[in-house]
């Protein structure tokens, strides 16, 4: 049997590697030209840092004794005016007094260290939960609007079309401002609520169109079969049409939710400290502009990649019946 003729792949793969190396080199030369000094070592502390809290003497007095226990030391203080001795615990290597020393009130005795969550981690968390909550609400809004859009009732259909066109025809940034400064002021909303509300309304309009298309893609025979078995229109929608439609719209929905995570960076304009705003704040104090922006971009990329993997897995699970 003759072997199948196949053009070799490796020259093209080699070219790909070459182009990537070229891009990396270009980036390096570009930063050389502007004399940028990379300080990647400054970045980790914005995720997690070791905080030192200094411990001060609660009263003026004399150090009676210092009892080490593990890495800590317990300082016994005899107050000046007499009375019960007072104890302060510090870490041994930060100890600043000896037994017999006289200490003034509020004098620094040593410190206790603890791990603290940095602003980048915190910002990432805010981005994730704001996206999650607004995505969830947007999904509900989208489902209801999508069904209204297909309703035979002209009022429901008209309202749905109006909402979808309004949202899709205006920029999200403007919607966020309107939601925060107008609706937020009228209803006295917290900025987080306003941000989530604006994002949810925004994503809801797009989800509605996706769901409408999904429902319309299910053949009429499906609902006819369900109706011929005596199911009501609602039962047909719940048991027959929506499950099949949902399976079909999963890929476009995934794209929409990935967009939502990225679009959520716009809520930083109403002073919600999400990942983007955290990054901006850190830059003002660290001057590691490039490093922080690259890190922020990478974090968004990680979150969106994880989400797309999860949805891909869901899609494959639903494909069982194909």
Partner 1 sequence: MIKVNKLFKTFEGRGGQIVRAVDDISTEVAKGEVVVIIGPSGSGKSTFLRCLNGLEDFDDGQVVIDGIDLTASKTNLNAIRREVGMVFQHFNLFPHKTVLENLTLAQQVVRKRKPAEAKEKAMKLLTKVGIAEKAQEYPSRLSGGQQQRVAIARALAMDPKVMLFDEPTSALDPEMVGEVLDVMKQLAKEGMTMAVVTHEMGFAREVANRVLFMDFGRILEDAPPAEFFTAPKEPRAQTFLKQVL
At its nearest, how many Å lie between partner 1 and the CB of residue 254? 19
- Residue 253, both tokens: 């929905």
Buried b (16+ CB within 10 A) or exposed e, 292-305: beebbeebbeebbe
Nearer to partner 1, 172 or 249 (CB): 249
Q: Is residue 233 exposed (0-12), middle (13-18) or buried (19+ Cβ within 10 Å)?
A: exposed
Angle at 249 between CA 243 and CA 252, to 5 degrees: 160
H helices present in 169-241, as ranges: 172-177, 184-186, 191-216, 220-228, 233-236
Nearer to partner 1, 44 or 219 (CB): 219
> Which x/- pattern, by CB under 8 A, does the window 61-80 give for partner 1?
--------------------
Rounded CA-CA distance 11/16 in Å is: 9
| Selected binder of partner 1 within 244, 256, 295, 304 (CB under 8 A) | 244
Q: How many residues bind partner 1 (CB under 8 A)?
A: 21
DSSP class of 59? S
Rounded CA-CA distance 213/222 in Å is: 16
> Which x/- pattern, by CB under 8 A, does the window 144-173 give for partner 1?
------------------------------
At its nearest, how many Å lie between partner 1 and the CB of residue 225? 4
At its nearest, how many Å lie between partner 1 and the CB of residue 214? 13
> Which x/- pattern, by CB under 8 A, does the window 210-239 give for partner 1?
---------x-xx-xxxxxxxxx--x---x
At its nearest, how many Å lie between partner 1 and the CB of residue 238? 9
> Which x/- pattern, by CB under 8 A, does the window 293-322 give for partner 1?
---------------------------xxx
Nearer to partner 1, 122 or 246 (CB): 246
Nearer to partner 1, 190 or 224 (CB): 224
Q: CB atoms < 10 A from the CB of 125, how many?
A: 14
DSSP calls for 9-24: SHHHHHHHHHHHHHHH
Nearer to partner 1, 181 or 239 (CB): 239
- Residue 145, both tokens: 């609007």
Cα dist. 299→36, 52, 165, 215, 295 in Å?
23, 27, 33, 35, 6
Residue pair 134/203 in contact by the 8 Å Cβ criterion? yes
At its nearest, how many Å lie between partner 1 and the CB of residue 253? 17
| Selected binder of partner 1 within 165, 170, 243, 302 (CB under 8 A) | 243
Nearer to partner 1, 190 or 235 (CB): 235
Bridge partners, residue 163, by sequence: none
Nearer to partner 1, 192 or 222 (CB): 222
Kindly report the length of the chain: 322
At its nearest, how many Å lie between partner 1 and the CB of residue 46? 47
At its nearest, how many Å lie between partner 1 and the CB of residue 236? 10
| Selected binder of partner 1 within 240, 253, 261, 296 (CB under 8 A) | 240
Residues that bind partner 1 (CB under 8 A): 219, 221-222, 224-232, 235, 239-240, 243-244, 247, 320-322
């Amino acid at each position: 049997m003759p072997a199948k003729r196949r053009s070799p792949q490796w020259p093209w793969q080699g070219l790909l590697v070459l182009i990537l190396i070229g891009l990396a080199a270009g980036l390096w030369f570009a930063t050389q030209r502007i004399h940028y000094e990379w300080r990647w070592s400054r970045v980790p502390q914005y995720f997690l840092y070791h905080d030192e809290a200094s411990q001060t003497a609660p009263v003026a007095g004399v150090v009676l004794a210092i009892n080490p226990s593990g890495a800590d030391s317990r300082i016994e203080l005899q107050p000046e005016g007499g009375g019960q001795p007072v104890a302060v615990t510090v870490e041994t290597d930060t100890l600043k007094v000896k037994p017999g020393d006289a200490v003034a009130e509020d004098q620094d005795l040593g410190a206790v260290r603890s791990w603290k969550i940095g602003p980048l981690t915190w910002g990432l968390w805010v981005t994730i939960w704001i996206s999650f909550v607004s995505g969830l609400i947007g999904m509900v809004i989208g489902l209801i609007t999508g069904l209204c859009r297909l309703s035979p009732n002209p009022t429901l259909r008209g309202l749905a079309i109006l909402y979808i066109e309004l949202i899709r025809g205006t920029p999200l940034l403007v919607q966020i401002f309107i939601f925060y400064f107008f609706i937020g002021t009228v209803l006295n909303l917290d900025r987080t609520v306003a941000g989530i509300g604006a994002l949810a309304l925004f994503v809801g309009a797009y989800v509605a169109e996706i769901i409408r298309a999904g429902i319309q893609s299910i053949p009429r025979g499906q609902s006819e079969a369900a109706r011929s078995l005596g199911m009501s229109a609602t039962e047909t929608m719940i048991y027959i049409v929506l499950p099949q439609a949902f399976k079909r719209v999963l890929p476009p929905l995934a794209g929409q939710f990935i967009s939502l995570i990225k679009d959520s960076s716009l809520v930083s304009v109403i002073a919600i400290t999400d990942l983007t705003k955290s990054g901006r704040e850190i830059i003002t104090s660290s001057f590691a502009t490039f490093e922080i922006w690259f890190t922020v971009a990478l974090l968004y990329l990680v979150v969106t990649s994880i989400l797309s993997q999860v949805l891909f897995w869901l899609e494959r699970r639903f494909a069982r019946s194909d």
